[in-house]
Amino acid sequence: MFIRQLHLTNFKNHEKKVFSFTEDTITFVGLNGLGKTNILDAIYMLCIGKSYFSSSDKNCVKHEEDFFRLKMELDKSEYKEVVITYERGKRKRILVDGIPHQKSAEHVGLFPAVVVSPNDQTLITGSSEERRKFIDQTLSQLSREYLNNLIHYNFTLKQRNALLKSAEEKGLDKELLSIYDNALSEKATFIYTARNDFFKDIQAFFRESFTSLSAKDEGFYLDYESHLADKPLNEMLEASLQKDLILKRTTKGIHKDDIRLEMNGKLLKDFGSQGQQKTFLLALKLTQFNFLKAQLKKVPLFIIDDIFDKLDTQRSQNLIKFLVKQQGQVFISNTDNHIFQNIIEVPVHIIPVEE
């Protein structure tokens, strides 16, 4: 799949823009604050159905406007175009070749995409929620069933937590609690199995991704941690009920899963240098890319947001060379186009982004 034209209307700081892409490696160049990241985010939303950088669709509408519209025209794809429209107070609409998707979840996986940005450093240093997002972003693009189970699990989890919060005043409805516990256990078992299999499958991809970035073996390792590795969720929910009632939230489940990131047996976030953490992060993103490519039999888009000034020249060269070999489309944002003279050896479509 290749995007040949991109249309933005009232999306974030862009009132009306049209971009035509003549090469497969495209870079948006301009000063900070002019909207390079917003263009990349529009591409991601068209591929996945939601923003990578904004938590709500209403935050993507240009100031003092009441709607946005995005469109991409495609080449080398079974589809010709994707259009997304959103009006304040209404549901977002996604149309693929004129056919609407009833739910955003129907769109996920049709146009695989991987993003790496400076904000992704939280994958290494942030909470377990950030690392679960990485797993879910990958598996949701591969399996509609996984995404649906995850949506239902999170919805039931909110219901159970609301029941726990109301128990002090109204008393605990044990029959309703049992319904929630059974539903959570069923969905959690499916999700845990998918995540566990995923981590077994990506170990070779991770080693390949790491060696493509750096020839040095720094003892990097990643492992999957979950409560469900010890016992079924139903048993844990029953055992932790009194604690849950006191804390008014569910303390056991796949919503507590994490990825353990190690370097020579020590936690990367505590002992890794900035350079080592960046290499690990890029290796994770390339692992995501490689795994999606292998499973879907199609090359995902790779979106790189303003990271080259934070990487040394060798890692930058290795990253670009690796992506170019995949024969897919790469979108890049950067503040200086001179850097590409040193690291990119293929034709690049440089698009200046101006005020």
Instruction: Write down the pLDDT at residue 209.
Output: 85
Identify which of 136, 241, 242, 132 has the alpha carbon closest to the alpha carbon of residue 181: 241
Identify which of 103, 191, 104, 183 has the alpha carbon closest to the alpha carbon of residue 139: 191
Q: What is the pLDDT of residues 225-241, one digit of tens each?
A: 999 999 999 999 999 99
Residue 236 phi/psi, 5-degree rounding, is -70, -40
Q: What is the pLDDT of residues 158-195, one digit of tens each?
A: 999 999 999 988 899 999 999 999 999 999 999 999 99
218: its two tokens: 């720094």
**C-beta of residue 274 within 8 angstroms of C-beta of residue 118:** no
Starting at the earlier edge strand, list the strands of the sheet with 113-116: 113-116, 301-305, 330-334, 25-29, 349-352
The pLDDT of residue 71 is above 80: yes
Burial 293-306 (b: 16+ CB within 10 A, else e): bebeeebbbbbbbb
The pLDDT of residue 243 is above 90: yes
Q: What is the pLDDT of residues 26-69, one digit of tens each?
A: 989 988 888 999 999 999 999 999 999 998 999 999 999 999 99
For residues 219 and 75, what is the distance between their CA atoms, to the nearest angstrom?
A: 41
**C-beta of residue 344 within 8 angstroms of C-beta of residue 313:** no
**Domains of the chain by range and CATH?**
1-112+298-355 (3.40.50.300), 122-297 (1.20.1050.90)
181: its two tokens: 């516990």
Confidence of residue 76 (pLDDT cuts 50, 70, 90): confident
**Strand 25-29 relative to strand 349-352: parallel, antiparallel, unpaired?**
parallel
**C-beta of residue 310 within 8 angstroms of C-beta of residue 119:** no
326: its two tokens: 């995949």
Q: What is the pLDDT of residues 251-301, one digit of tens each?
A: 999 999 999 998 888 888 888 888 788 888 998 999 999 999 999 999 999
Using a pLDDT cut of 70, give the percent of the chain over it. Answer: 95
316: its two tokens: 């930058």
Instruction: Write down the pLDDT at residue 263.
Output: 84
Identify which of 7, 38, 22 has the alpha carbon closest to the alpha carbon of residue 333: 38
For residues 159 and 180, what is the distance between their CA atoms, to the nearest angstrom?
A: 8
**C-beta of residue 278 within 8 angstroms of C-beta of residue 261:** no
| Least confident span in 75-79, 86-90, 311-315 | 311-315
Instruction: Write down the pLDDT at residue 226.
Output: 96
For residues 213 and 280, what is the distance between their CA atoms, to the nearest angstrom?
A: 9
Q: What is the pLDDT of residues 110-142, one digit of tens each?
A: 999 999 998 899 999 999 999 999 999 999 999
88: its two tokens: 């304040």
What one-letter code names the amino acid at 78? E
What 8-state DSSP symbol labels residue 61?
Answer: B
Instruction: Write down the pLDDT at residue 242.
Output: 96
**Strand 349-352 relative to strand 99-101: parallel, antiparallel, unpaired?**
unpaired
The dihedral sign for the CA sequence 288, 291, 296, 300: positive
Using a pLDDT cut of 90, give the percent of the chain over it. Answer: 65
Instruction: Write down the pLDDT at residue 118.
Output: 87
Instruction: Write down the pLDDT at residue 274.
Output: 81
63: its two tokens: 């100031």
Query: What's the pTM?
Result: 0.90
**C-beta of residue 269 within 8 angstroms of C-beta of residue 261:** yes
Beta-carbon count within 10 A of 264 CB: 12
